[in-house]
Structure 1
Amino acid sequence: MTVQTVHFSRGIPPLEAIPSTAIAEHTSAVLAAEPDRVFQYAPIGRHTGDQELREQLGKFHSVDPDRVFVTNGSLQALDLLAAHLLRDAVEPQVLVEAPTYDRAVQIFERHGAQVSGVPLRHDGVDLNVLRERLRTKVPAFVYVIPDFQNPSGVTTSEDKRRELVRLSAEYGFTILEDIPYRELRFSGTAPTRLGELAESTDGAHVLTIGSLSKVLSPGLRVGYVIGPPGTPHALAALAESTYLSPAPLLQVVAARALANGLIRENTEHVRRLLRPRHDAAVEAVRQTLGDVHLCVPEGGYYISVHLPIRTDEESFLAAARKDGLALTRGSAFYPADSAPPSGTVFLRLPFQALDGEEFAEGVRRLAAAAERAA
C-alpha cells in the first residue's frame, strides 16, 4: 500500500489563502482601463516602481512613498541590496541569524560575502555573541527576519530590537530587516519594526524588505524595499542593468488591491484560516515530541524543532523518506560556520497548508523515524 506523503517542505501559501477571483476581477478592470500602458515597458531612468503602488505601500507602512522601491519579489530585493551594499566592501562579511533563510545565504555568497551565523534564541539573535563579533569586525550588514522567522518561527523581542538598532548606530553597520510574515500575527502584540526604531536613533541604518506574496499572491511577484532617501534610486540603477524594467501589469493590479482594501481583507482571512492550523501544530509537537521546539510562534508559517537523534542527518532523512515525509534538510538553514546543537537535527515544520490531523500524523512519523534511524 502506498503511504501518502506528508509535506513538511516548502512554505508556500495554501490556495485558499490567495483571493484569486478578486485578483482576476481587478486585473480585468485594469486591462479595460489602460491596456496600452500596462503592456508597454515601464519608464526607464531610475524607475522605482508604479507610482500608485508606491503610494499605497507608503500608506500601508506609514512612510514616504519616495522611500519605497518595488521589485519583482523579495528575493530580487535581497539580490539588489546585496550588490548595493557589498560592491565596495574590502572584506565583505555578513552576519545572519543561525538558522536563517537558506536562499538569502546563497544570494549573499554569490555576491562575494563571507556569511557567518550568530545563534538564534527563542526571542531573537543572541546579542552577547553579536557584541563579541562586532568588537572583532564590523560586517557590511546584519540580516534578520524579526517576525515569525523563516525557518524557526522566532519573533525578535522589543528589547532586542531596540538594542540591535542601538548597536547599528554604535558600530555603523546596516541592518537588513526582512518582514514577509509580519502581518500574519495570530496572537500577542507586534513589536516595533526595526526601520521605525531607526528613525528615532541617530546613526542607525535599517533597510526593510517586504513582500505581498503571503498576504495577496506570490504569482504577482511584488516585493519592495523601504530605505532612506536616495536608496530607491541607487537600487533602480542596478535593476535597470539587470532586467531593464519591472512588469507594469502586475504592479498596477497590486496597487488596486491595496487601494481597494483587498490586501487588508485577505490578511484577516488568512489569519482566521491559519490560526487553528497553528494551534494544532503546536499541540501536536508538544504531545508527540515534547519540549524540543525553539519557540511557540505567534504567527507566520513555521514551528521548528531541534529533534534529538542518535545518528547523522542523512540517515535520519532517509528514514523519514521511507515513512512518507518530505522534509527540507535542516543543516541547509545554517551558514557554513554554524550548526544545530550537537546530537540534534534541525527541522522546519510548515503548518500553513496542513490541517490538524495531517500535521499530527507527520509529527508521529517524525518520532518514528527518529527511533528507526538510531
Structure 2
Amino acid sequence: MSPSPVQFTRGVPPEEVLLVDELAKITTEVLAERPTEVFQYPRIGGNLGDERLRAALAARHGVDPRQVFVGNGSLQVLDLLSQLLLGPGGGDVVVESPTYDRAGLIFQRHGGRVLGVPLNGDGLDVERLEALVARRRPAFLYTIPDFQNPSGACASEGNRRALVDLAERHDFPIVEDTPYRRLRFRGVEQPALSELAPHRVITVGSLSKVLSPGLRVGYAIGDPGLVAGLAELGEGTYLTPTPLSQAVAARCLELGVVDSAVATAVSFLKPRHDAAVAAAREAFGDQVVAEPGGGYFLSVLARSALPEPEFLAAAADAGVRLARGSAFFPGGLPDGRLFLRLPFQALPEAEFARGVRLLADVLTR
C-alpha cells in the first residue's frame, strides 16, 4: 500500500500543542460565572471587544487599553483595517514578495493595488522599497517581520530600523502582522516595529498560533481614533464580537495559560524546525530562502524550467501536496524559479524529510 501524501499545504497548529483540557476547564468556569453575559448580545456602539481581554493584551504590549481593538480572528481585523486605510478610492499597498496570499486578496477586495518588493533572508529589500515609495506614496505597507508566512524569513534589527526610517521620511503607515512572533526557537528576539515607531505602526495580532485557532481571536493596536474606526466598521459588518471566545481568551491571558501554551509549542516545535532546516538544506542547498529560527514555515526558491502547473502535478503524482507558490508573489514568480512553501509544524521529522526528498527528485528529473 502506498504511503499517504505528504501535506505541505497549511499552517495548522499540531494537536499536541493545544492545551485542550485547560481550555475546556476555563470555558466551563466562564460559563458558570457569566452564563447570561456570554450568551447575550454585547453592547453596541463603539464596542472594542471584551474589556478584560483588551486590558490583558494592552498590558502584554505595553499600551493603553483604548489602543486595542479585538475582532473575530486576525483576517477579519485585517479586512476592517484595509477598508479603513484604503477608503473608497483604494490605493497602493506595498507588500513583501512573497507575502501571505490571503492578505493580498483582502487588499485587492478593498481596491488596493498590491505592489511586491523582494524579500531577502533578513527582511525586505530596503533599496528597492525606497525606489518604489519615492515614486508613489502607498496607503500602507504590510509586513510580517517575524518568521514570515510563507518564506520563514525573520527581519534583522537593522532591516527593521531602516524600514521605519523609510516610513518616517516618506510618510506612510506600516501594518505589522505578528502571528508567529512569540514562537522563537533560536536567536534573540528582535524589536517589534511598533517599539521602534509606535506612532507610525499598526500592529495586528492573533491568539491562533499561541493559544487556539478555534477561539477566533485577533486584534489590532493603534491610536484610539483608528481603533474607534475599526469598531464602527466592525459593528456594521458583524454587529458585535463573540463574547464567549473573548472571555475565555481573557481568562487564559490572566492565568498565564497563553504563556504555558507558548512554552509547550516552542518545546514541541523546535526539534521539528531543526530537523526540517537540515533536511531542506540537504535536498535544496542554497535555494532555501532562510533558516527561520521560529514560526511554522521554511521555503525554497528553486531553479527550474518546469512550468508551475506541470511541477505541481508531478509533485502530486509523487505523493506531495503543495500550496501554489505563485499565489504568494503579487507580480508573479521570478523567471526560471518555483516557490515551495514547506510548513514543518504539523509533520514528524521523518515525514518532512521524505517530502523534501520527493520534491527534490521531481525538480531534478
TM bracket, shorter-chain basis: over 0.9
Q: Secondary structure at the match of 2:288?
A: coil
User: What runs of 5+ residues in structure 2 fail to find an aligned partner?
Assistant: none
What TM-score does the superposition give when structure 1 sets the normalisation length?
Answer: 0.96
Separation (CA, whole Å) in 2 of partners of 1:135 and 1:353: 42
Does residue 1:363 correspond to 2:363, yes or no? no
Q: Aligned residue for 2:260?
A: 265
Does residue 1:244 correspond to 2:239, yes or no? yes
Q: Secondary structure at the match of 2:138?
A: coil
Specify the code of the residue in structure 1 equivalent to 2:332.
Answer: A
User: Can you list the C-alpha shifts for 1:122-170, whole angstroms capped at 9, x where unaligned?
Assistant: 1111000011011110000000000000000011111111121111111
Q: Secondary structure at the match of 1:156?
A: coil
Separation (CA, whole Å) in 2 of partners of 1:65 and 1:191: 24
Matches within 5 A, 1:213-232: 213-232=208-227
Matches within 5 A, 1:1-374: 1-89=1-89, 92-199=91-198, 205-335=200-330, 338-372=331-365
Runs (4+) of structure 1 exceeding 6 A deviation are none
Separation (CA, whole Å) in 2 of partners of 1:122 and 1:339: 19
Which is further off, 279-288 or 216-225?
279-288
Separation (CA, whole Å) in 2 of partners of 1:298 and 1:289: 18
Aligned-residue offset at 1:191: 0.9
Aligned-residue offset at 1:339: 3.0
Q: Secondary structure at the match of 2:364?
A: helix
Q: Secondary structure at the match of 1:290?
A: helix
Q: Secondary structure at the match of 1:106?
A: helix
Specify the code of the residue in structure 2 equivalent to 1:172.
Answer: D
RMSD: 1.0
Separation (CA, whole Å) in 2 of partners of 1:369 and 1:152: 21
Q: Secondary structure at the match of 1:38?
A: helix
The answer to whether the 8 A contact 1:173-1:205 is kept is yes
Q: Secondary structure at the match of 2:117?
A: strand
Aligned-residue offset at 1:88: 5.0
Aligned-residue offset at 1:340: 3.1
Separation (CA, whole Å) in 1 of partners of 2:306 and 2:238: 46
Separation (CA, whole Å) in 1 of partners of 2:119 and 2:160: 13
Separation (CA, whole Å) in 2 of partners of 1:242 and 1:104: 18
Aligned-residue offset at 1:116: 0.7
Specify the code of the residue in structure 2 equivalent to 1:291.
Answer: D
Alignment length (residue pairs)? 365
The answer to whether the 8 A contact 1:95-1:117 is kept is yes
Aligned-residue offset at 1:43: 1.0
Aligned-residue offset at 1:2: 2.9
The answer to whether the 8 A contact 1:280-1:356 is kept is yes
Aligned-residue offset at 1:184: 0.1
The answer to whether the 8 A contact 1:99-1:120 is kept is yes
User: Can you list the C-alpha shifts for 1:97-118, whole angstroms capped at 9, x where unaligned?
Assistant: 0000000000000001111100
Specify the code of the residue in structure 1 equivalent to 2:176.
Answer: E
The answer to whether the 8 A contact 1:302-1:349 is kept is yes
Specify the code of the residue in structure 2 equivalent to 1:269.
Answer: T
Separation (CA, whole Å) in 2 of partners of 1:11 and 1:70: 22
Separation (CA, whole Å) in 1 of partners of 2:327 and 2:250: 36
Separation (CA, whole Å) in 2 of partners of 1:308 and 1:118: 20
Q: Secondary structure at the match of 1:129?
A: helix
Separation (CA, whole Å) in 2 of partners of 1:54 and 1:23: 19
Aligned-residue offset at 1:310: 2.4
Separation (CA, whole Å) in 2 of partners of 1:60 and 1:17: 22
Specify the code of the residue in structure 2 equivalent to 1:298.
Answer: G
Separation (CA, whole Å) in 1 of partners of 2:358 and 2:256: 42
Specify the code of the residue in structure 1 equivalent to 2:247.
Answer: V
User: Can you list the C-alpha shifts for 1:48-77, whole angstroms capped at 9, x where unaligned?
Assistant: 000000000011112111110001000001
Separation (CA, whole Å) in 2 of partners of 1:288 and 1:168: 39
Separation (CA, whole Å) in 1 of partners of 2:220 and 2:191: 17
Q: Secondary structure at the match of 1:230?
A: helix
Separation (CA, whole Å) in 1 of partners of 2:19 and 2:97: 34
Separation (CA, whole Å) in 1 of partners of 2:17 and 2:206: 15
